[in-house]
């Protein structure tokens, strides 16, 4: 089967800056794919390479099996939801949504009907006559979504789609985007720096750092089996343990990650470690303890309802060896 | 304390009134002398009033010739300025490149330079290149500062048409021409109209650059200068002056109102 998007050794350099550096990437048809990474990691440039706003310095890009280099954005069957929505201020909502159909020469009656249907899809029926300036941030985002979807793209690109929304709205939109993607069956590629968002929405996640993909996998893979200190630290806020510490506590002499929820408070069990509680942070459903174990800082999550040790208290902690995830080739 | 500051003293009011009168009474005098019965010198008070000079002006072919040339020059240099000024503004605001600030400065320079410098340099350049003086050399001279006016208006508006709007348009399938037609032009249109009107008005009453770049042709302001030294039918000049005031004032007022409304339209989107 053909991939929706395929990168082969794609690089995009800006002068001496390697924004994207020899990236190999396959995104399958119908996937909900997340590009996750800190700002400046190259994820947005990758998105712009797919959209056609950037051309690769070297390498090869295919969209549904067709070569994409040199093809301008307006001849790609790909649409983008921009971070700042980029709604046309001089057009009302209906004309914004039907813009793509208008430039393709679709008649007025037909394109307005399609635009109405798209507005219905994003739960904004009857908003057609308003100006973008009269809408709230969440509504503008929905209009931007409708404006892209009305063109029936094969790939929908979303650049930090939820970044400008408040928490409640963001959670709603996450659910809506997921069900929308499922019902339409369109390949969604979205860029985010929010690991929670990437893990909860995507089928597959690529973690970017310094222009390279550090790891690609399902959210479970990325979260539970990070392959590097960077991924462990960025995605899971996992405890990253140095080789010496791991060797001392029953592992190989390698870097390892340990998820904070795998750390348990125990009473005199074998294999338990002495730890001093440095600080406590109440997170609602859980409380995070910051512990000092032999000079190594380890975070532990204690579910609500369990007894909490005081700050400065000496406690004993344990974890099962299989929770200790050894990382391959960790630098 | 506050009311002291807010309320101007009597002397300040008188001074302000005097300043305004000083600026505007001479213009009124021009209007008054357009209707005087005395044709050889500007005598005050006018011995009598007549409207005969309107008819005399109407029947003078040299007035029509000068007016026609001025309108042509202003229209063509404004058209040139609209195209070049818009393109230049798009380039300066749309991309970053080496020497961008320098080019921006060089574009604005002609309006900062004294007209006499522009005039002399153009004149020597024209004769160096052996270009005969004609209407087209006048147009070239005027276009140098008309471009700046259009550029200045357009560049301010281009800054507000964010780059992602152009990308959004292309993303939705519009090619470069369609993007300009449906996305950029509606957002910068009023700025272009305003810039064009200002350019037209500037060109219409320009004297200095015209003096240096014209051959035998007389634009309206040049014709007026020449007319002042003649002893007969002086009020004809005043009638023409009155027309010039109206012709240049109206576009400037219109440009002012257009950009004011345009600000509200363009600003409301963000």
How many angstroms separate the CA atoms of B262 and B258, rounded? 6
Residue A1 confidence (pLDDT): 62
Q: What is the pLDDT along chain A (331 residues), one digit of tens a residue?
A: 678 999 999 999 988 888 999 999 999 999 999 999 998 899 999 999 999 999 999 999 999 988 988 899 999 999 999 988 999 998 999 999 999 999 999 999 999 999 999 999 988 998 999 999 999 888 999 999 999 999 999 999 999 888 778 888 888 888 889 999 999 999 999 999 988 889 889 999 999 999 999 999 999 888 888 888 888 888 877 888 888 888 877 667 888 888 888 888 887 666 678 888 998 888 888 888 899 888 888 888 888 888 888 888 888 888 887 788 888 654 4
User: Do the Cβ atoms of A133 and B164 come within 8 Å?
Assistant: no
Q: Are B233 and B39 in contact (CB under 8 A)?
A: yes
Residue of B nearest to A132 (CA): B269
- Is the Cβ pair B173, A104 closer than 8 Å? yes
- Domain B61-268: state its class: mainly alpha
Chain A residue with CA closest to B179: the answer is A103
Q: For the residues B45-69, what does the mean pLDDT come to?
A: 84
> Does domain A3-232 sit in CATH 3.40.50.300?
yes
Residue extents of the structural domains in chain A: 3-232, 241-323
Q: Which residues contact B40 (CB under 8 A, 6 or more apart)?
A: B231, B232, B234
Decide if A196 contacts A236 (C-beta within 8 A): no
Of B164, B175, B266, the CB nearest to A86: B164
Does residue B46 contact residue B35 with C-beta atoms inside 8 Å? yes
Quick: pLDDT tens for B210-246.
888 888 888 888 888 888 777 677 788 888 888 888 8
CB of A163 within 8 Å of a chain B CB? The answer is no
Two tokens, residue B159: 């800054």
Average pLDDT over residues B19-28: 90
Q: Does B186 touch chain A (CB under 8 A)?
A: yes
B3 pLDDT higher than 60 = no
Tell me the three-class secondary structure of A35-51, residue by residue.
EECCCCCCHHHHHHHHH
Q: CA-CA distance, A36 to A193, in Å (whole number)? A: 5
Place of tokens 């994003």: A122
Sort A329 into a burial class: Cβ within 10 Å, 0-12 / 13-18 / 19+. exposed
Q: Is any Cβ of chain A less than 8 angstroms from the Cβ of B187?
A: yes
How far from B118 is each of A126, B34, B131, B137, B196, CA to CA, in Å? 58, 34, 17, 13, 21
Are A80 and B266 within 8 A, CB to CB? no
Alpha-carbon gap: A104 to the closest alpha carbon of chain B (Å): 7
Chain B touched by A84 (CB under 8 Å): yes
Query: CATH class for domain A241-323?
Result: mainly beta
* A71 CB within 8 Å of a chain B CB: no
User: Quick check: ipTM above 0.85?
Assistant: no
Nearest to A98 by CA among B132, B159, B182, B225: B182
């Amino acid at each position: 089967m053909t991939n929706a998007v395929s990168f082969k050794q794609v690089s995009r350099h800006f002068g001496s800056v390697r924004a994207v550096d020899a990236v190999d990437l396959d995104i399958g048809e119908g996937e909900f794919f997340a590009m996750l990474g800190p700002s400046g990691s190259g994820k947005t440039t990758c998105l712009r390479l797919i959209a056609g706003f950037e051309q690769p310095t070297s390498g090869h890009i295919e969209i549904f099996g067709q070569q994409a280099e040199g093809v301008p954005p307006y001849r790609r069957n790909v649409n983008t939801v921009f971070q700042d929505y980029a709604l046309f201020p001089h057009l009302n909502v209906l004309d914004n949504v039907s813009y793509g159909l208008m430039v393709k020469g679709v008649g007025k009656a037909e394109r307005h009907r399609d635009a109405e249907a798209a507005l219905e899809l994003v739960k904004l029926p009857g908003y057609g006559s308003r100006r973008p300036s009269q809408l709230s941030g969440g509504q503008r985002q929905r209009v931007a979504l409708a404006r892209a979807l009305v063109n029936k793209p094969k790939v929908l690109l979303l650049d930090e789609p939820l970044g400008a929304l408040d928490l409640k709205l963001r959670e709603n939109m996450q659910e809506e985007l997921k069900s929308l993607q499922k019902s339409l069956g369109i390949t969604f590629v979205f860029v985010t720096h929010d690991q929670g968002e990437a893990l909860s929405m995507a089928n597959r996640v690529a973690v970017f750092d310094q222009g390279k993909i550090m790891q690609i996998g399902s959210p479970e893979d990325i979260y539970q089996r990070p392959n590097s200190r960077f991924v462990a630290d960025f995605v899971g806020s996992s405890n990253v343990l140095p080789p010496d510490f791991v060797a001392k506590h029953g592992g190989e002499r390698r870097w390892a990650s340990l998820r904070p929820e795998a750390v348990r408070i125990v009473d005199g069990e074998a294999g338990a470690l002495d730890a001093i509680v440095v600080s406590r942070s109440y997170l609602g459903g859980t409380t995070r303890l910051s512990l000092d174990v032999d000079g190594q800082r380890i975070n532990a999550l204690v579910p609500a309802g369990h007894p909490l040790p005081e700050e400065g208290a000496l406690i004993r902690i344990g974890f099962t060896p299989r929770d200790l995830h050894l990382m391959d080739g960790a630098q | 304390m506050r009311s002291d500051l807010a309320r101007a003293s009597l002397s300040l009011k008188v001074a302000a009134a005097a300043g305004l009168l000083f600026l505007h009474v001479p213009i009124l005098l021009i209007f008054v002398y357009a209707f005087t019965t005395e044709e050889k010198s500007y005598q005050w008070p006018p011995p009598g009033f007549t409207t005969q000079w309107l008819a005399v002006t109407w029947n003078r072919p040299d007035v029509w010739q000068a007016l026609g040339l001025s309108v042509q020059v202003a229209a063509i240099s404004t058209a040139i300025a609209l195209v070049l000024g818009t393109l230049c503004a798009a380039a300066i605001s749309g991309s970053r490149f080496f020497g961008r600030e320098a080019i921006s400065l060089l574009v604005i320079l002609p309006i900062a330079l004294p007209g006499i410098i522009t005039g002399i340099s153009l004149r020597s350049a024209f004769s160096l290149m052996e270009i005969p003086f004609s209407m087209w050399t006048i147009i070239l001279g005027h276009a140098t500062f008309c471009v700046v006016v259009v550029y200045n208006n357009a560049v301010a508006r281009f800054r507000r048409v964010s780059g992602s709007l152009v990308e959004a348009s292309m993303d939705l399938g519009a090619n470069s021409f369609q993007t300009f037609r449906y996305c950029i032009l509606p957002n910068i249109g009023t700025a272009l109209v305003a810039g064009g009107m200002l350019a037209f008005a500037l060109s219409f009453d320009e004297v200095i650059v015209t003096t240096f770049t014209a051959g035998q042709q007389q634009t309206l302001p040049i014709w007026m200068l020449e007319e002042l030294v003649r002893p007969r039918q002086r009020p004809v000049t005043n009638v023409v002056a009155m027309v010039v005031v109206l012709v240049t004032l109206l576009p400037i007022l219109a440009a002012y109102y257009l950009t004011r409304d345009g600000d509200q339209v363009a600003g409301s989107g963000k």
